[in-house]
Amino acid sequence: MCNQHYTPFNNKEKHDEEHEKWTRRSFLQALGLAGSGSMLLGGNILSASSPSPLTAALEASENDNILILIRLNGGNDGLNTIIPAYDFDRYANFRPKIHIPFNNLTRLNDAFYMPKYMENLEKLWGEGGMKVVHGVGYENHNMSHFSSSDIFASTDVNNRTNTGWMGRYFDNHGDFSNYLLNPPSDPAAIQVGNIGNLIFQGDDVNYAFTINNVTELERIAEEGVVHSLSDLIPDCTYEEQLYFLRGAANTTYEYSGIISNAFKAAQNSVEYPNGSLGRQLATVSRLIKGGLGTKIYMVSIGGFDTHSAQPERHQNLMTEIADSVDAFYQDLEAGGHHKRVLSMTFSEFGRRVYENGSFGTDHGTSAPMLLFGPGMEGQGFIGEHPDLNDLIRGGNLKTSVDFRDVYASIMSEWLCIDNNLVSAALNGQTATLLGLGLTCSSSDNTTIEGEGPIVDGGTPMPDVIEPPTPEFENATSFEHFPSYGEDKNVYVNYTVPTAAHLVIKLYNILGQDLGTIVNEMSFEGQHKVNITEAAKKSFNRGQYIYSISYNGKNYSKSIVLS
């Protein structure tokens, strides 16, 4: 049972109900029934004729650094991951049955230790390739698995935003203005599992090439297709139809062949653990060494919801992480790629400080994030470890580092993303750079203001910033957005800073040209065009794409006609 003080879910029925709702939500998102309204498979639009331009994933950063997000699904117990040796007695008193004995710990420095079963990380730590960010979370932490997962993905602590921090980065990058009709050669992000996660969700599309599990990833990497066509039953009455449907689904995954080519161009140089995480990282390593241009990967390992029998379960999970990460960096080093790959663990929340009556811990608040990679140039600890003498509601740890500061630091200091785009990715919220010692770090403890520029000691922005209403006052660059009238008409709005010839075309979701809406010299100022009126014909209800050519550049956006 959960501990009696565990207020968010003090009965098993409610806890199970939340899991059931999330399962339905993930399923609907996988089919595309919750979102744009188009039918998708694995996050990509289903097309029997050709790969859809809406499968586009966009290249992200201005250097060759790579980021690996390692999701610890279920809520990792940070207090049994990084142990405060200076307060060991108090830690052990809170957890008389599940604490890790001092003689089973490995020293990181005089103040902090980690369990001996994670000792395969000692080499990374000793060579300056590991950092720990203490007490990561947010104020008034939501201890629901799925609400908190959305918060970590969207950066909106009030959970009102349906886009993710990386999705908004892609949305706001000027070079990606025509991504719907001009996809890049390589996927910008690859996500294994966690279909319902919002991290890569933009306004119109999820930018990640999403694969349900490691087995599917391995099959795609080996065969270059999503569904095997070699295992059909010869005498099956519906063999021909099934063959067609599987083939149609395979064409949906535009990048399958590219992923497969990269995978086959390289080999693993070390033996990986046989668990799910080891297999995922082994495949990712081959993709990196094989020259795939993807900048961001998200892998995951589940099982961290340790309400009961935690000691053995948590030991197995953290051993798998330590062994897999160690093998991953040894493998990358053999190919000379280790210094350009940074890995970061994250989880939706930590666990309660005190143990419950089932040899486990209940949902908590803050927890450490672990960073791995020789590119950090030095091991160490970031932020203050939460004080075990100063707990908050229900016996929880205070937050010492806001998770959005970690995101901002990674984006600015590792991916070298312009700070205006970092601010946009964080929904205009202020974030403090942590000084992680990464390649692109220019200074420590600076602040990214909600309006964009870096200044010192800025005033924090409100927790929730509503998406701004597009305005064209004093516009100095071309801007555009769709709008929907009460008369059910759909409009394209655009501002022209300098008079030039302008063309607007309409496409269906397969990228087929449906005709020209505007083709004229457009003068400086604001313009608005009714799509169906200008086209002089009606369209079936559904999703479309408009594309604008202006002054030598192309812009596109998704719309829904009804």
Q: Which pLDDT belongs to residue 60? A: 35
- The letter for the amino acid at 429 is Q
Q: Looking at the structure, do residues 419 and 541 belong to the same domain, yes or no?
A: no
SS3 (DSSP) at 558: strand
Q: Looking at the structure, do residues 408 and 488 belong to the same domain, yes or no?
A: no
Tens digits of per-residue pLDDT, 363-410? Answer: 999 999 999 999 987 899 999 999 999 999 889 999 999 999 999 999
Q: What is the rounded CA–CA span in Å between residue 302 and residue 317? A: 8
Q: Looking at the structure, do residues 109 and 206 belong to the same domain, yes or no?
A: yes
Q: Looking at the structure, do residues 448 and 488 belong to the same domain, yes or no?
A: no
- Report yes or no on 462 lying in a domain: no
Q: Looking at the structure, do residues 58 and 172 belong to the same domain, yes or no?
A: yes
pLDDT score of 443 more than 50: no
Q: Looking at the structure, do residues 268 and 393 belong to the same domain, yes or no?
A: yes
Q: Which two tokens stand for residue 205?
A: 């599309």
Mean pLDDT in residue range 334-344: 95
Burial class (CB in 10 A: 0-12, 13-18, 19+), 529: middle
Q: Looking at the structure, do residues 120 and 201 belong to the same domain, yes or no?
A: yes
- Report yes or no on 300 lying in a domain: yes
pLDDT score of 3 more than 50: no
Q: Looking at the structure, do residues 49 and 108 belong to the same domain, yes or no?
A: yes
| Overall number of domains in the chain | 2
Count of other CB atoms within 10 angstroms of residue 228? 12
Q: Looking at the structure, do residues 497 and 424 belong to the same domain, yes or no?
A: no
Q: Which two tokens stand for residue 170?
A: 């892609």
Question: ∠ at Cα 173 (169, 178), nearest 5°?
Answer: 120
Most confident of 203-217, 232-246, 512-526: 512-526
- pLDDT-derived band at 28 (thresholds 50, 70, 90) equals very low
Q: What is the rounded CA–CA span in Å between residue 514 and residue 118? A: 58
- Report yes or no on 302 lying in a domain: yes
Q: Are 249 and 210 in contact (CB under 8 A)?
A: no
Q: Looking at the structure, do residues 16 and 51 belong to the same domain, yes or no?
A: yes
Question: Pick from 421, 455, 489: which residue ends a domain?
Answer: 455
Parent domain of 551:
479-561
Tens digits of per-residue pLDDT, 129-151? Answer: 999 999 999 999 988 888 898 88
Tens digits of per-residue pLDDT, 255-286? Answer: 788 888 899 999 999 999 999 999 999 999 99
Mean pLDDT check: name the lowest of 167-171, 268-272, 301-305, 306-310.
Answer: 167-171
Q: Looking at the structure, do residues 337 and 212 belong to the same domain, yes or no?
A: yes
Q: Taking the CA atoms of the chain, what radius of gyration do you get in angstroms?
A: 25
